[in-house]
Amino acid sequence: MPELKFLGHACFVLREGKHAIVFDPFLTGNPAAAATAEEIDCQYILVSHGHEDHLGDAISIAKRTGATIIATAEIARACIEKGVQTHAMHLGGKHNFDFGFVRITPAFHGSGIPGGHASGFIVNFYGKNVYHTGDTALFSDMALLGRLESIDIALLPIGDNFTMGPSDAAEAANMIKAKMVIPMHYNTWPLIAQSPEAFKKDVATRFNLPVHIMSPGDTYTL
């Protein structure tokens, strides 16, 4: 069964045996990092946007492991210029890979790269659908995405200030109708301090949906 490991902030690893993909590998300089960039072993790196807390160590990991970076075209272009392998996609596009598929979802956020666009990902990994929203504001098309792809796990930012806060993330959880919600992008710095327990209680009270809280280093079996 595939495993989801949380490495802090918005960085997660999906693994099935030797097959692994990494989301937003911000480890160097991440006060909450549960691994170093050198410890990451993967075949694909998904980068939601060009901000340092998401692009992070993607280039160094790709160079060392030969992993392919999957991102929107402008971010992929910036990565190609650094000499790594990429698979460029864009908003609304879906592509099959050896682990399943990736659908690039819109995210309402800065791209961090001129001309680019922030994104999220719905990843089908060995039959399980994981929606990593990236950094985003709340948007009502999340309901449509939840209808188009039956989401097993939604990874939602709750940090506020730069992204959705807990109350909006609870609304997102309700729209996506994921079987499980996991909060991310909080408590890395004081500016995005939040209580995941309060978020869990709010989602349960208002929407009767389950939230699983992961500490950096925790693993969740899908």
Binding site for Ni ion (CB under 5 A): 51, 135
Total residues at interface with Mn ion (CB under 5 A): 2
Task: Tell the smallest beta-carbon distance from residue 150 to Ni ion (Å).
Answer: 27
Span from 31-39, 49-57, 62-70, 89-97 in contact with Mn ion (CB under 5 A): 49-57
Is 152 an interacting residue with respect to Mn ion (CB under 5 A)? no
In the chain, what is the greatest distance between 2 CA atoms, to the nearest angstrom? 49
Separation of alpha carbons 51 and 40, rounded Å:
20
Taking the least distance from each CB to Mn ion, the nearer of 74 and 149 is 74
Tokens matching residue 67: 């992993």
Amino acid at 16: E
Is 53 an interacting residue with respect to Mn ion (CB under 5 A)? yes
Span from 46-54, 91-99, 114-122, 192-200 in contact with Mn ion (CB under 5 A): 46-54
Half-sphere exposure of 78 toward its Cβ, with a 13 Å CA cutoff? 18
Tokens matching residue 160: 């506020």
Task: Tell the smallest beta-carbon distance from residue 143 to Mn ion (Å).
Answer: 23
Taking the least distance from each CB to Mn ion, the nearer of 23 and 125 is 23
Q: What angle do CA 28, 29, 32 make, to 5 degrees?
A: 95
Is 135 an interacting residue with respect to Mn ion (CB under 5 A)? yes
Task: Tell the smallest beta-carbon distance from residue 70 to Mn ion (Å).
Answer: 18
Is 57 an interacting residue with respect to Mn ion (CB under 5 A)? no
Taking the least distance from each CB to Mn ion, the nearer of 10 and 35 is 10
CA distances from 103 to 30, 48, 124, 125 (A): 27, 12, 8, 12
Interaction partner, residue 74 (Ni ion, Mn ion, none; CB < 5-8 Å by kind): none
Task: Tell the smallest beta-carbon distance from residue 136 to Mn ion (Å).
Answer: 10
The separation between the first and the last C-alpha atoms of the chain, rounded to the nearest angstrom, is 6
Residue nearest to Ni ion according to CB distances in the complex:
51
Tokens matching residue 101: 């598929």
Task: Tell the smallest beta-carbon distance from residue 54 to Ni ion (Å).
Answer: 6
Span from 52-60, 97-105, 117-125, 175-183 in contact with Mn ion (CB under 5 A): 52-60
Separation of alpha carbons 198 and 219, rounded Å:
21
- Closest of 155, 149, 48 to residue 101, by C-alpha: 149
Task: Tell the smallest beta-carbon distance from residue 73 to Mn ion (Å).
Answer: 20
Q: Where are the alpha helices (DSSP H) in the chain?
A: 52-55, 58-65, 73-80, 141-148, 166-176, 196-207
Is 24 an interacting residue with respect to Mn ion (CB under 5 A)? no
Query: Which residues lie near Mn ion (CB under 5 A)?
Result: 53, 135
